[in-house]
Structure formats: C-alpha cells, structure tokens
Amino acid sequence: MAMPDFDSLPESLRDTPRTRWAALCERAEGVPDVPDAVLAELPRVFACSDFVATTCERHPDLLVDLAGGDLHAACTLDAYRARLAARLASVEDETGLLRELRRFRRREMVRIVWRDIAGHAQ
C-alpha cells in the first residue's frame, strides 16, 4: 500500500503532518485504506489545516469515508439534503439528532477544507 510522501513538503512543514499521520494510523490500528490520489494530497492538506489533520487523527473512519469519492466530487444542494436525510433517518431523540448533526457538520467541514486546499473546489 502506498504511503503519503511528506518529503514533497518543504522541510519546515514535514514534522506536524507526519506526526498526525502516525497518530491516525495508530488510532486506526494500521494504515487506512484510502486511494493513492487521497494519500498524495494528504501531506499538503495536513500541513495547511490543523483542523483537518486533527479531525482525521481523531476520526480515521471519517477519512476513509470521505476518500470513497466525496473528496474529489462536487456536491449539489440536493445531494447535501439527501446525505443529511439519510443520516437522520434513524434518529429517535434529541440527543441522537444533535449527535448526528455534529457528525454531519464535521464531515462536511473536513470535505470542504480538503477540497479547497487540494484544488478541487470550484
């Protein structure tokens, strides 16, 4: 499996993204299964956004989920609505609603920032 190329970054920017990646892999109990295209963008994104790096480190499953295609695809308003509706379909109480809304917001914020830094945003 490919690994992110942190040496592609200026030397002064390599340590933090490399450390975050190592922590992410430790938390995920191995290297997450993400496409090479995502791994190629990861050093730059982690170097430019502490929010994305920290969030992915804490929630490696989020990176795997987004790497399934959403990081490289534009999203319409109807697609956002459908994603949110799917997440909320099984919610049974206010606590569950608030939890799912936080998860949805976190996911979409990481997606937006990643796409912007990686040059996929339009």
Q: Go through 47-61 and write b for each residue having 16 or more CB atoms within 10 A of its CB, e for each that does not.
A: bbbeebbebbbebbe
pLDDT at 1: 62
Q: Taking Cα atoms as reference points, which of 18, 1, 118, 26 lies closest to residue 66?
A: 118
User: Three-class SS string for the chain?
Assistant: CCCCCHHHCCHHHCHHHHHHHHHHHHHCCCCCCCCHHHHHHHHHHHHHCHHHHHHHHHCHHHHHHHHCCCCCCCCCHHHHHHHHHHHHCCCCCHHHHHHHHHHHHHHHHHHHHHHHHHCCCC
Q: What is the pTM of this model?
A: 0.90
pLDDT tens-place string over residues 81-116: 999 999 999 999 999 999 999 999 999 999 999 999
Tokens 């830094």 belong to: 117
pLDDT tens-place string over residues 35-79: 999 999 999 999 999 999 999 999 999 999 999 988 988 888 998
